[in-house]
Each structure stands twice: as C-alpha cells, then as structure tokens.
C-alpha cells in the first residue's frame, strides 16, 4: 500500500507513478482532479484500473479523463449502509464501464420503485431500494444499534434515483430530491449537470441554486475545465445546439480550479452553493 500525507492531486499522481501503483479507489471528484493536473498526460499508464464511486459521474467526463491519464475506470455504487453493492468489470466495454454503475453482487438485489411503492419495470426511473448480505445492522445510537427503516420485504431506500437496464446493469441518476425552484418552475439539478457535463472541455460541473429576490432561485454552474475556462456563452450555445430547454440553462457559470469537497473527498453541495452565492454577488461576474 502506498500512502500520501493528505489529498493533493499532484502528489497523488507522483506517488502512483513512482511506486508503479496498479489499483486505487477514488470518488469521482478526486479522479477528475487528477486528469486536469499539468503532468496528467499518460501519468497512470501502469495503473491497471481505478475504481470510482460515491458521487455523480458523467460518461463523457470519465472517458476523457481516463484517456488523459492512460488508465481505465471501473464504476461502482454503494453506501455506508449497504457497502459496494454493484460494480462494473475491467473486461466490460467502455460504454458499460463508463455509462452505468455495474451489476449487483451475488445475493444483492436493487430495484426501482414508484412514489406509491410499485416496483417499476426495466427501463423506468424510480427510487432506488437495495437488500443483500452487506446490509448494515443499524445506526449506533446511545450505545446500541437502531434498526434502519426498511420496507416490509426488507429493502433499504437509498435516496437515489435508479434505472435498471435490459442488460442487467443499473444506472444511478442522482439523488431523489435535487431541484432548483426558479420562479415557480422546478428544475432538475441532475438533468442540468448531465447536459453541461457532456460539453467537450468540461472536466467537472456542479449545478447549484443562487438566491434571487424576484425568482427565488437561479441556476448557477461551478465548472472545472480541462483546458481554457469555458464561458457562459459557450455553454448556453452548446445547450441550444443540443436542443436542451432554455428554461433550464444556467444563468451563471463560474470557472473554478476544483469543486468543494467534504472531509472524505466527496462533492460538498452546501459548500458549492455558498461559493456560487458569493461569486454571484460580485459585480460583473457571470
């Protein structure tokens, strides 16, 4: 095992290259940070695979990143309450490895359900529920485990949106309740992030609301670019060309070197929202 003192993308790249590291596991924010470092090109050709999970992922951004780094990504999905319950495989083709979250482990079941609890068919998007051998006993409260809130048939609601695919894989589509309410219109954050992340030159994006006196909230995007900073006009122009609805376009785009992270390296949406609100208040910033 190779360790570094604390998370620094440049130091991580050097350590993995110098010690011929063959595998590592990172959250997507960290993996994409590696790909935009000045020394990133071909730096991890000795890395057999990098497992990524624990946050939003876009196939295009991951594909560009693994090409820069010279390795391959393996997507996984799991949570502390039911550890690592789906995974892709190094032998999967790129479309499978990068565009879905793999297949459930043996004995683990994942399903999508509607608001009324009805189990949905393959191809439909619904609330993710899981059960299997890695399901936790409960939360530690007052010195004893507190059982989790399971469905009558033993499934744990994860709080995520999921689609089960015809080939047996699943695709996590973000958290259930991530919306921006702009002038009474609900805008799905997951949908906007996916559209912006498909734009070439964008390594990472985080869409958040910024407060507005008249509309309540407006749409802002924090963007990490793989090259030159991408402007609001470039993003909206590409979204228009792709036919993405104008009512959902970001109204602010803020180039940033990195997205805010919490103490375990995952994207911190509260910090991202605070950062965007502060940037939006700066005169002349769009």
Distances, alpha carbon 116 to alpha carbons 112, 120, 126, 129, in Å: 12, 11, 11, 14
* Residue 282's pLDDT band (cuts 50, 70, 90): low
Residue 286 has pLDDT above 80, yes or no: no
* DSSP structure string for the chain: ----SS--HHHHHHHHHHTT--EEEE-HHHHHHHHTSTT-TTTTTT--EEEE-SS---HHHHHHHHHHHTS-EEEEEEETTEEEEEE--TTS-HHHHHHS--EEPTT-EEEEE-TTSPBPPTT-EEEEEEESTTB---EEETTEEEPP---TTSPEEEEEEEEE-TTS-EEEEEES--EEEETTEEEEHHHHHHHHHTSTTEEEEEEEEEEETTTEEEEEEEEEESSSPPPHHHHHHHHHHTT--GGGS-SEEEE-SS--B-TTS-B-HHHHHHHHHHHHTSTT--
Give the structural domain span for 128: 105-174
Percent of the chain with pLDDT over 70: 97
| Nearest CA among 57, 55, 171, 189 for reference residue 124 | 171
73 domain-assigned: yes
167 and 215 assigned to the same domain: no
Percent of the chain with pLDDT over 90: 64
* Residue 79's pLDDT band (cuts 50, 70, 90): confident
Residue 245 has pLDDT above 90, yes or no: yes
Taking the model in full, what pTM does it have? 0.69
124 and 198 assigned to the same domain: no
15 and 95 assigned to the same domain: yes
- Residue 284, pLDDT score: 52
Per-residue pLDDT, averaged over 132-157, amounts to: 91
Residue-wise pLDDT for 25-60, tens only, equals: 998 878 888 998 999 999 999 999 999 987 667 788
235 and 154 assigned to the same domain: no
Domain end among 43, 75, 99:
99
132 domain-assigned: yes
Q: Which residue has the higher pLDDT, 144 or 102?
A: 102
Domain end among 150, 174, 198:
174
2 domain-assigned: no
Per-residue pLDDT, averaged over 168-184, amounts to: 82
* Residue 68's pLDDT band (cuts 50, 70, 90): very high
Residue-wise pLDDT for 84-116, tens only, equals: 899 999 899 998 999 899 999 999 999 999 988
266 and 183 assigned to the same domain: yes
Q: Which residue has the higher pLDDT, 184 or 109?
A: 109
4 domain-assigned: no
160 and 184 assigned to the same domain: no
Domain end among 84, 99, 114:
99
Residue 205 has pLDDT above 70, yes or no: yes
Specify the number of domains making up the chain. 3
d(CA 79, CA 87): 13
1 domain-assigned: no
156 and 134 assigned to the same domain: yes
- Residue 56, pLDDT score: 66
């Amino acid at each position: 095992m190779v360790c570094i003192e604390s998370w620094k993308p440049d130091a991580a790249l050097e350590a993995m290259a110098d010690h011929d590291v063959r595998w590592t596991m990172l959250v997507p924010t960290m993996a994409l940070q590696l790909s935009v470092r000045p020394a990133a090109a071909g730096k991890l050709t000795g890395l057999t695979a990098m497992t990524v999970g624990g946050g939003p992922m876009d196939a295009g951004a991951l594909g560009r990143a693994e090409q820069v780094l010279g390795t391959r990504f393996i997507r996984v999905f799991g949570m502390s309450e039911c550890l690592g319950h789906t995974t892709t495989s190094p032998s999967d083709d790129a479309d499978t490895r990068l565009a879905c979250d793999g297949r459930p482990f043996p004995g683990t079941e994942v399903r999508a359900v509607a608001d009324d609890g009805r189990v949905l068919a393959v191809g439909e998007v619904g609330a993710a529920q899981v059960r299997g051998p890695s399901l936790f006993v409960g939360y530690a409260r007052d010195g004893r485990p507190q059982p989790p809130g399971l469905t009558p048939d033993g499934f744990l609601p994860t709080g995520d949106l999921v689609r089960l695919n015809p080939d047996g894989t699943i695709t996590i589509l973000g958290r259930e309740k991530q919306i921006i309410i702009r002038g009474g219109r609900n805008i799905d954050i997951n949908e906007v992030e996916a559209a912006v992340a498909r734009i070439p030159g964008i390594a990472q994006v985080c869409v958040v609301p910024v407060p507005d006196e008249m509309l309540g909230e407006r749409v802002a995007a924090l963007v990490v670019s793989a090259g030159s900073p991408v402007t609001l006009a470039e993003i909206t122009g590409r979204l228009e060309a792709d036919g993405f609805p104008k009512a959902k376009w970001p109204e602010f785009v803020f180039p940033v070197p990195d997205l805010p992270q919490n103490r375990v390296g995952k994207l911190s949406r509260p910090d991202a929202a605070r950062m965007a609100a502060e940037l939006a208040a700066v005169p002349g910033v769009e």
